[in-house]
Each structure stands twice: as C-alpha cells, then as structure tokens.
C-alpha cells in the first residue's frame, strides 16, 4: 500500500508516517490510518457516508480509492486523486472506485525534524568528476565518464528502492502504468531477481561496476586497457539481463534497458576510441584493489541497511503490542487511584475537561524538563480536552533562598497573569535554569508571595508516596512504569473517550 503522493501532499515525513502506521495495533485498518494522521499533526474525523451526500463534502477529503487511502481534491466537475500516483477522475468514476469511508482533516502547523540526505554529497562528487573530465580529458573520455555517472545514479536509485525508498526517477522511467509501482515490470524484475552472492543481487553488481568504472575513468588513458577489458566483460551481464527479461520473466524492464544502453555505449567507445591499450601490472593491481573496495562498500551498505530495515519491521511489530490500548489501560489501573484535596494550585487548561493530568516534579530535577514538555504539548494540541496541574515538591524548611524565590515567581505569575504566560515561564525556566533571568522576566519582586498552598500540596504528594520526580498521573492513576512517558501520545485519544478512566 503506497501512499507517496498523499504523504507528499500533506507534507509529512514519509519514513515516520509509515513507521507509525505499520506499528499501530490495528494496522492496516482505517482506524490505524486516522490515528497516524492525528499523531503526525493532521487532525481528522472519519465517517461512513453514502455517495449521495458527497457533494456536501469540503474541497479536500480522504477516502479509499482502488483499495488505497487517497486524498481527493475537487476541481470543478473533476476530482484529483493523490495516493501512490496522481490521477484525475470524474464524479461517476470516483463513486464507482471508492468506498463509503470518508475522512475529513485539518492540518496543524507542526515542525518535523529534517532528515539528513546523502544526495547533496553525491551530486557534489558528480559535479567534481564532470568538471574534471570536461577540462582535462578528450571528448570521448569525458563522454565515457558521463555515462559512468549516469550508471552510478540509476544503480543507486535501484539500490535505494530495495529498502522501501520509492524512486521518482525509476517510477518515471518505468511509466508506472498500472498505478502501483510495486507490480510494474521494472520492480518485478528487480525485486524477484534470484541472484544472491553474499546477499547481493544482480542489480547491486551494477552499482559496484559503475563505481569502479567511474574511478578508473578519471585516470584515462592510463587505465584504458583495464576499462576496455571490463567493458568487454559487460557483454556477459547484458546477455544475462536480456535472457531474464525476454525468456524468464517475459517482460521488459525500461530501467534495465537504459542501463544496457549505457553499457553498450561505453563498449563502443572503448572498442573504437580507446587506443592506448598496453598492459601494466601496477595499474591492474590498483584496479583489483579498487573493485574489492567497491564490492566491500556496497556489501557493507547492503548489510547495514538490510539490518536496519529488519530492526524497523521488528520494532513496528513490537510497537503494535505496546500501543495496544487495552494493555495500557490494564497497567494504568493496576495501581490505586490517588485523590488530592488541592486541585487548584498551578492548574491550567479546561476545568471541565474529562481528562486531567497531574505532574509531580521539581524545578531542579534534570528529567522533569521532558515530562513538562510532554504535558505542555498535550495542552497545546488538545486545549479543550485536557487539564493539567503542576504539583511541585517544595518544603520551606529544606530549600534554599533561590528555590523559594523561583517558586514565588511561579506563584506570582500564576495568580496575576494568564495561564499561558505561566506555562511559558515554566518552559523558559527549564530552558535557561537561571533564577535571575526568571526574575527579570517576571518583572517584579515576588518574595512576599504566600506559598502555603504549595507547601500543603507538597505534603499531599509525600503522603501519597509521590516523592520521586517526575511522575505523571492520569485522572489520579499513576502513569505505568513499563511505558515511556512519551508513549502517552499514542493513547490520548482513547483516554479522552474512555468513560471508565
């Protein structure tokens, strides 16, 4: 189930989306899809809606078209469909090919971590090789190197596709006429290749070959004898590839034919234009070392990425178990519910919310920063569904003057300014850990604040055995120790709807 166009349209992190979707306990259901969008910042509501009412839908919505989750965008009498590919359908075609499932969404403004890409580095290397070849070599030697770079690029795209990174380049070359890149001729031949030498497939040797040829091409004409030998040897690979396509699979792969064209062009250049063909033992030995290095590099990358992919799949399966709400709820209710008398001090959020979080913490606790960040994010994302009380552990007998002043600043801000400003002040403290900056931000002396409510609240914490920090409680139930605190994001929707909790 490929969702490239949909994911790109919504500007989501593809790798993160697919990981969260695959690890959902109800994968691959509509519920799993809806929950994953929510988790990624795309708030949505799902419905079963008869087609006769679809004219009342907004201009953009998500449904299941041709058994794939797809974004539908109205454009006059036509509908643009985004899923594994972009296509346009009229009203009758859309109704015929889609189910009654409809998902209405609203995308939040969320920041995603940028993923470092190797491509700029690859392009820089290509540019250096290209400039060097054009400036220092004969036209046919430069052309040979350009063809080698084309071979490296195409082979690298095929190599990446093995590990779930769908290639736009491969898709455009192969045409993708079926609308599903997983079943087209190119992918069929590449993925079903039975060749395996130390785990490397036939397409992997294409990458090894072109890397080696590219490096040797930089030293032309000194390496012309070795290059000519390898271009002759490529005839074997050409024949094998044509045999597989024509007689075994009985279908032709366009990207394979493109690589064959590159090999044939290099063979002709080597055959008719490379004149300096003398055997040199040193050059041959260095070439052998180069091929071994190229083989080792591709083998290492293949094994590393394969291991990473297997770990991700295993992790996704384990997370389906971990993210099961019934198991989480059982763990949550295992401990006795804690009831507090003071539910007012440092209380923020919707007072009528059904879900109330309490965070027991200490401003000088190193781990409390992340816990506070979690509850602040939840308050921001679910402002009408959640309330939070910050229960700082404080005892005037055992604390120093700086701590007392800091707590006084918190109390002054909470009592005299909007709750949002109080939240920002707490966040600012955990970022700076500087009492003087907090005092400057508050802008007034707050040393005379009455801290009695905080002292009594701290006593309640100790009476309930909540001495260690940070601790998060959900409607009085302590967050289970078997889960990481940020796992709460997975269960927040179920928690807000659970009548028992």
Q: Say how many C-beta atoms besides its own lie within 10 A of residue 36's C-beta.
A: 22
Q: Which tokens is 191 given?
A: 């993925």
> Do the beta carbons of residue 302 and residue 202 sit within 8 Å?
no
Domains observed in the chain: 4-107 (3.90.70.10), 119-310 (1.20.1440.130), 327-497 (3.40.30.10)
E strand or H helix at 428? helix 419-432
CA distance 490 to 152: 42
- Pinpoint the alpha helices (H) of 105-201: 119-136, 139-161, 168-174, 185-191
- Helical spans, DSSP H, in 167-253: 168-174, 185-191, 202-217, 224-243
Q: What is the pLDDT of residue 101?
A: 87
Give the H/E segment covering residue 358.
strand 355-361
Give CA–CA dist 99/105, Å, rounded: 17
Contact 262, 234 (CB under 8 A): no
CA 371 to chain centre: 23
Is the pTM of the predicted complex or chain greater than 0.75? no
What is the C-alpha to C-alpha distance for residues 22 and 26, in angstroms, rounded to an integer? 9
Distance CA(476)–CA(453), nearest Å, equals: 19
DSSP state of 116: P
Could you give phi then psi for residue 444, rounded to 5 degrees?
Answer: -160, 160
Render 342-380 in DSSP notation, one character per residue: ---TTEEE-TT-SEEEEEEE-TT-TTHHHHHHHHHHHHH
**Sites in the chain below the pLDDT cut of 50:** 1, 109-116, 176-183
CA distance 99 to 67: 8
Question: How many Å apart are CA 166 and CA 18, to the nearest integer?
Answer: 13
User: Any residues with CB less than 8 A from the CB of 426 and at least 6 apart, and which?
Assistant: 372, 376, 390, 410
């Amino acid at each position: 189930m490929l969702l490239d166009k949909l994911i790109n349209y919504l500007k989501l992190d593809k790798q993160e989306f697919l990981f969260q979707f695959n690890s959902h306990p109800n994968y691959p259901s509509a519920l799993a899809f809806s929950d994953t969008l929510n988790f990624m910042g795309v708030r949505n509501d799902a419905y079963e809606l008869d087609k006769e009412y679809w004219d009342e839908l907004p201009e953009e919505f998500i449904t299941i078209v041709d058994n794939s989750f797809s974004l539908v965008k109205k454009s006059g009498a036509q509908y643009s469909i985004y899923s594994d590919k972009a296509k346009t359908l009229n009203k009758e075609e859309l109704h015929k090919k889609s189910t009654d499932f409809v998902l209405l969404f609203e995308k939040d403004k969320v920041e995603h971590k940028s993923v470092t890409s190797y491509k700029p580095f690859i392009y820089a290397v290509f540019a250096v090789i290209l400039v060097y070849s054009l400036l220092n070599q004969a036209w046919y030697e430069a052309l040979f190197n350009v063809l080698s770079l084309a071979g490296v690029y195409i082979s690298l795209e095929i190599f990446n596709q093995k590990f779930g990174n769908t290639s736009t380049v491969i898709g455009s070359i192969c045409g993708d006429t079926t609308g599903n890149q997983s079943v087209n001729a190119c992918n069929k031949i590449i993925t079903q290749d039975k060749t395996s030498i130390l785990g490397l497939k036939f397409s992997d040797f294409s990458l090894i070959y072109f890397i080696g040829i590219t490096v040797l091409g930089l030293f032309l004409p000194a390496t012309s004898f070795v290059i000519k030998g390898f271009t002759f040897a490529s005839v074997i690979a050409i024949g094998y590839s044509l045999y597989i396509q024509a007689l075994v699979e009985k279908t032709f792969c366009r990207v394979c034919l493109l690589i064959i064209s590159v090999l044939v062009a290099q063979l002709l250049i080597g055959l008719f234009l490379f004149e300096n063909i003398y055997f040199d033992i040193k050059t041959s030995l260095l070439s052998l070392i180069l091929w071994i290095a190229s083989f080792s590099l591709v083998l290492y990358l293949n094994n590393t990425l394969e291991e990473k992919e297997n770990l991700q799949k295993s992790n996704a399966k384990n997370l389906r178990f971990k993210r099961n709400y019934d198991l989480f709820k059982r763990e949550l209710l295992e401990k006795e519910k804690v009831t507090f008398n003071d539910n007012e001090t440092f209380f923020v959020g919707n007072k009528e919310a059904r879900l109330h979080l309490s965070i027991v913490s200490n401003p000088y606790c190193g781990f409390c920063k992340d816990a506070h960040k979690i509850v602040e994010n939840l308050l921001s994302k679910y402002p009408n569904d959640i309330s939070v009380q910050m229960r700082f552990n404080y005892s005037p007998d055992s604390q120093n003057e700086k701590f007392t002043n800091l707590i006084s600043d918190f109390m002054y801000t909470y009592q005299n300014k909007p709750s949002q400003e109080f939240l920002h002040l707490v966040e600012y403290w955990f970022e700076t850990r500087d009492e003087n900056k907090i005092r400057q931000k508050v802008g007034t002396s707050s040393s005379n604040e009455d801290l009695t409510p905080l002292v009594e609240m701290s006593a309640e914490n100790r009476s309930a055995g909540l001495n260690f920090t940070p601790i998060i409680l959900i409607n009085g139930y302590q967050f289970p120790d078997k889960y990481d605190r940020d796992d709460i994001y997975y269960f927040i929707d179920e928690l807000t709807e659970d009548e028992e909790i």
